[in-house]
Amino acid sequence: MKHANIQKLALAGILTAIAVVGSMFSFPLFGSKCAPIQHMVNILCAVLLGPGYGVGSAFIASLLRNLLGLGTPMAFPGSMVGALLCGLAYWLTRNLPLTLVAEVFGTAVLGGLCAYPISVFLLGNDVAFYAYIVPFLISTAAGSVVSGVLVAALQNTGALTRMQKKLAR
């Protein structure tokens, strides 16, 4: 039991590092930095580790991105809400397409709406309530497509099942 937890924690750390390094390949869009690699990591965490590790990884990656000057405070609501929703979707259904849709909806719509108070109260920006939905949608859609292809390839080769069994011990 302890060995599996150490493996999960190590994998979460590796995926978090990938999200932070991957944010160097972000692009600015309407006051937000779009980092599609974060959304790929969210889905990999959902499929391999579960919703708790996914939210933890998203929080740590967002914190590190902000501390390193690679992100904005908008990284927190977008990545964490998306990680929670896609983690719960996969945990409850084991359905990859639904997991991808949950990541997109959680990040773009719910995360975009949660970014509004951060933008207004913490950053002093006067933006519309729905201002972050489109930039978050572009970022999460790109990351979800990449991770969907990756996870589907892992499923087709049987590697995904082996990885999940190894982490479940």
Strand ranges, E, within the chain: 27-29, 32-34
Q: Give 110's pLDDT tier (boundaries 50, 70, 90).
A: very high
Q: Residue 33 pLDDT > 70, yes or no? A: no
Region label for 132, one of left (φ > 0), alpha (ψ between -120 and 50) or beta (otherwise) = alpha
Give the whole-angstrom CA distance, residue 67 versus residue 24: 13
Start-end of H helices in 68-132? 75-93, 96-104, 112-117
Strand ranges, E, within 22-161: 27-29, 32-34
Q: Residue 1 pLDDT > 70, yes or no? A: no
Nearest 10 degrees: Cα torsion 44, 46, 50, 54: 80
pTM above 0.75, yes or no: yes
Span 125-167, pLDDT tens digits: 777 777 788 888 988 998 899 999 999 999 999 999 999 999 9
Q: Residue 3 pLDDT > 60, yes or no? A: yes
Q: Residue 62 pLDDT > 70, yes or no? A: yes
Residue 48 confidence (pLDDT): 96
